[in-house]
Amino acid sequence: MIHKRSVIFHEVQQFSQVWLWLLILFITGIFWYGIIQQIIYHMPLGRNPAPDLILLIFWLFFGIFFPLFFYSIKLVTEVRGDGLYIRFFPFHFSFRRILLKDIKRHEVRTYSPIREHGGWGIRYGLKGKAYNVCGNRGVQLEFVNGKRLLIGSQRSEEFVNALDRVKDIKT
User: What is the model's pLDDT at position 153?
Assistant: 98
Q: What is the pTM of this model?
A: 0.85
Q: List, for residues 135-150, the tens digit of each pLDDT value.
A: 999 999 999 999 999 9
Name the average pLDDT for the chain. 93
Q: Please give the share of the chain, as a percent, with pLDDT higher than 70.
A: 96
Could you give the CA distance from residue 121 to residue 75 in angstroms, rounded to a whole number? Answer: 9
**Per-residue pLDDT for 133 more than 90?**
yes
Give 125's pLDDT tier (boundaries 50, 70, 90).
Answer: confident
Range 24-48 average pLDDT: 91
Strand segments (E) across the chain: 7-13, 74-80, 83-89, 96-98, 103-110, 121-125, 128-132, 137-143, 148-152
pLDDT of residue 150: 97
Could you tell me the CA-to-CA distances from 22 to 7, 69, 93 in Å, in that order?
Answer: 35, 15, 28
pLDDT at 45 over 60: yes
Q: Evaluate whether 79 touches 52 at the Cβ level (below 8 Å).
A: no
Domains, in order of start, for the chain: 93-170 (2.40.50)
